[in-house]
């Protein structure tokens, strides 16, 4: 696979209101009655941690835990999860279920490993099955699957450098298939709670959020992040309209009651309505900027990406590292494809990548 995931465009997070410290500080931080947030470290220079949410449950089987997301299956994260659970009087043997928001490794792989070891049900969105099929097929993984996507964006030099990346061998235990496939929107009993599983494709095709309406909480995964925008287009196999899917999913979440966002990355506490409106506005601006770049002569996503600013600091494309140049190229292509769907651009396949042309205004 490609280099480690960096699902956002910035990593400057605020202090977490539930801990009084930076949101990534180790610990089991209470965020609501019966719910703790455990940040687990990531082996990257970008995002510092992923939040795993621990929901205490009581049912006919007694007391237990449901975890929303599992973290990245690396030793330091496993040790910290164990220590953090013990600090609230629990352990791995108390886990009854993992509800995984999506298939990216910082969310799925620890759940897959612990689920297998402890006989715990692992649930994942059905839309992410093609990604697991790819990860479990050695022949299809012989080369970097993102290279084709980058070439279609016109980012040939970046694609060549990504192709030279030598990823570690795939650990089958980390990418085992889940026990339960989530399909469609439906309620999920979690002890004496009922979480609404809401399919929110975009960041990945199988992404889910889980809404606890009575408690006013949204386990948001990477769909609604408090201060960064989730990556769009960083998915293999590629999907036809990831940005269109993402914006439709944002509108779907906006139709839910206003809930407190429990994000996968960053501090808790944002209003879901407020943050969704910010994300929708951001992408509308980005679409306008992308259209203007094509009208000014850019023809491929790679060309357009060079004319846009990146991260909240509006860094020039050429100042990004090669990984983030690839991410930027794929995300820009997603914006251009949505402009095609809206009738503002036309597209044509060419040797140097998909070429976009502005539709003359009447």
Q: Are residues 258 and 297 in the same domain?
A: no
Rg of the chain in Å (alpha carbons)? 20
Closest CA to 49 of 29, 32, 26, 28: 26
Is residue 209, in this structure, part of any structural domain at all?
yes
DSSP SS3 for 281: helix
Global pTM?
Answer: 0.92
Q: How far is CA 66 from CA 35, 112, 188, in A?
A: 10, 14, 11
Q: Are residues 153 and 76 in the same domain?
A: yes
Asked whether the bond before 20 is cis by omega within 30 degrees of 0, the reply is no
DSSP SS3 for 334: helix
Q: Are residues 196 and 69 in the same domain?
A: yes
- C-beta atoms surrounding 349 within 10 Å: 8
Q: Are residues 94 and 140 in the same domain?
A: yes
Q: Are residues 133 and 209 in the same domain?
A: yes
Closest CA to 2 of 132, 159, 125, 201: 159
CATH code for position 309: 1.10.10
Is residue 17, in this structure, part of any structural domain at all?
no
Q: Are 120 and 114 in contact, with CB atoms under 8 Å apart?
A: yes
Q: Are 7 and 44 in contact, with CB atoms under 8 Å apart?
A: no
Domain that holds residue 321: 280-358
Is residue 13, in this structure, part of any structural domain at all?
no
Q: Are residues 237 and 319 in the same domain?
A: no
CATH code for position 76: 3.60.15.10
Q: Are residues 104 and 253 in the same domain?
A: yes
The length of the chain in residues reads 362
Based on the structure, what is the number of domains in the chain?
Answer: 2
Q: Are 19 and 58 in contact, with CB atoms under 8 Å apart?
A: no
Q: Are 250 and 283 in contact, with CB atoms under 8 Å apart?
A: no
Q: Are residues 249 and 340 in the same domain?
A: no
Is residue 8, in this structure, part of any structural domain at all?
no
- Can you give the pLDDT of all 362 residues of the chain as single tens digits? 222 233 333 333 334 455 568 999 999 999 999 999 999 999 975 788 999 999 999 877 778 999 999 999 999 999 999 999 999 999 999 999 999 999 999 999 999 999 999 999 999 999 999 999 999 988 777 778 899 999 999 999 999 999 988 667 778 899 999 999 999 999 999 999 999 999 999 999 999 999 999 999 999 999 999 999 999 999 889 999 999 999 999 999 999 999 999 999 999 989 999 999 999 999 999 999 999 999 999 999 999 999 999 988 899 999 999 999 999 999 999 999 999 999 999 999 999 999 999 999 87
């Amino acid at each position: 696979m490609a280099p480690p995931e960096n699902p956002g465009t910035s990593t400057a997070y605020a202090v977490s209101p539930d801990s009084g410290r930076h949101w990534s500080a180790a610990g089991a931080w209470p965020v609501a009655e019966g719910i703790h947030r455990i940040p687990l470290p990531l082996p990257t220079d970008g995002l510092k941690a992923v939040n795993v949410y621990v929901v205490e449950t009581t049912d006919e089987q007694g007391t237990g835990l449901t975890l929303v997301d599992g973290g990245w299956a690396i030793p330091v994260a496993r040790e910290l999860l164990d220590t953090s659970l013990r600090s609230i009087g629990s352990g791995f043997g108390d886990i009854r279920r993992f509800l995984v928001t999506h298939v990216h490794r910082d969310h799925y792989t620890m759940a897959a490993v612990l689920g297998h070891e402890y006989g715990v049900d692992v649930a994942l969105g059905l839309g992410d099955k093609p990604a697991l099929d790819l990860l479990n097929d050695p022949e299809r993984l012989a080369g970097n699957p993102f290279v084709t996507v980058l070439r279609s964006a016109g980012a040939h030099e970046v694609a060549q450098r990504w192709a030279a990346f030598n990823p570690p061998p795939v650990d089958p235990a980390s990418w085992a298939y889940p026990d339960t496939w989530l399909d469609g929107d439906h309620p999920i009993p979690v002890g004496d709670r009922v979480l609404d599983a809401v399919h929110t494709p975009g960041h990945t095709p199988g992404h889910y959020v889980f809404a606890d309406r009575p408690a006013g909480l949204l386990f948001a995964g990477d769909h609604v992040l408090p201060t960064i925008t989730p990556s769009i287009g960083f998915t293999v196999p590629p999907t036809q309209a990831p940005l269109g899917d993402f914006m439709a999913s944002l509108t779907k979440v906006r139709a839910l009651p206003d809930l407190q966002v429990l994000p996968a990355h960053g501090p808790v506490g944002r209003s879901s309505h407020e943050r969704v409106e910010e994300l929708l506005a951001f992408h509308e601006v980005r679409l306008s900027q992308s259209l203007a770049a094509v009208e000014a002569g850019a023809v491929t996503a790679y060309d357009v990406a060079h004319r846009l600013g990146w991260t909240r600091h509006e860094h020039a494309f050429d100042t990004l590292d090669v990984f983030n140049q690839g991410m930027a190229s794929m995300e820009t292509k997603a914006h251009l494809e949505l402009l095609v769907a809206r009738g503002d651009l036309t597209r044509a396949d060419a040797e140097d990548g998909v070429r976009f042309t502005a539709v003359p205004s009447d």
